Amino acid sequence: MTIDPEYYLAVGAVLFTVGATGVLVRRNALVMFMCVELMLNAVNLTFVTFARMLDDIGGQVFVFFVLVVAAAEVVVGLAIIVAIFRRRQGATADDLNLLKG
């Protein structure tokens, strides 16, 4: 007996909103980044669910590419965070206001 795909979509939706709320609520730049990864995972789950619903392998291949791009994004994003916060003690998003008018 297979599970209805709507349940997977519901799990994906909850994960996505938890990640989005986390980006809004947290100040630590690293935890914000982790919440972005949560959102990407929720999207991956949705893609795989739709690949199964529509009987299309393209959804799973796209998840593969999302994984690759997410890994590259983590590398560059963490490099930026390290470069900015090398001299500071804290890593909060509120301190990044040098461009503020």
- Of residues 43 through 82, those in contact with other proteins by CB under 8 A are 44-45, 48-61, 63-65, 67-76, 78-82
Number of residues engaging other proteins in binding (CB under 8 A): 75
Q: How far is Cα 41 from Cα 57, in angstroms, rounded to an integer?
A: 18
Spatial distance between the Cα atoms of 84 and 95, rounded to a whole number of angstroms: 10
Task: Assess 18 for contact with other proteins (CB under 8 A).
Answer: yes
Using CA atoms, how far residue 88 sits from 22, 53, 92, 96, in Å, is 23, 49, 10, 11
Q: Which residue in 90, 99, 100, 101 binds other proteins (CB under 8 A)?
A: 90
Q: Does residue number 36 form part of the binding site for other proteins (CB under 8 A)?
A: no
